[in-house]
Amino acid sequence: MVQYRNSMKRQPKKKPSDQLCVGEVCAPRDVVDMLGWLGTFSILAAYATASFGLIIFNGPLYQGLNLFGALGIIMSSLPRKAYQATILNLCWTAIAIVTLLRIIIQR
């Protein structure tokens, strides 16, 4: 049986406190925060403009804003292990993609 000294054992990488990671992929905390805020404002803009009649709910702009927003929130919530928000926005993303594909096919 081969024995290794403690110094030779593979040590797990420690992530810097200014970074958020998913598995081996890390990004600066500021970038992750910015993506989350952009996603939040994108979804709010989609809902507000559609509610005020400036764009249509089943149009490509509305769906595109929702898609962009949901992806931003996923990128912000997943490294923080906020799985409820991640699952909700994965569903939001799927709905937006399916609707965008239907819009493209109908044209």
User: Looking at the domain assignment, is residue 43 inside a domain?
Assistant: yes
Domain residues for the domain of 65 are: 28-106
94 in any annotated domain = yes
From start to end of the chain, where are the E strands?
19-22, 25-28
Rounded Cα distance between 21 and 43, Å, is 24
| pLDDT on residue 17 | 75
34-49 residue pLDDT tens:
999 999 999 999 999 9
From CA 80, how far away is CA 75, in angstroms rounded? 9
pLDDT tens digits, residue range 69-92? 999 999 999 999 999 999 999 999
Question: How much is the pTM?
Answer: 0.81
Single-letter code of the amino acid located at 58: N
Question: Domains in the chain: how many in total?
Answer: 1
Residue 55 lies in a domain: yes
How far apart CA 81 and CA 28 sit, in angstroms, is 16
Give the whole-angstrom CA distance, residue 19 versus residue 17. 5
Tokens of 32: 């992750």
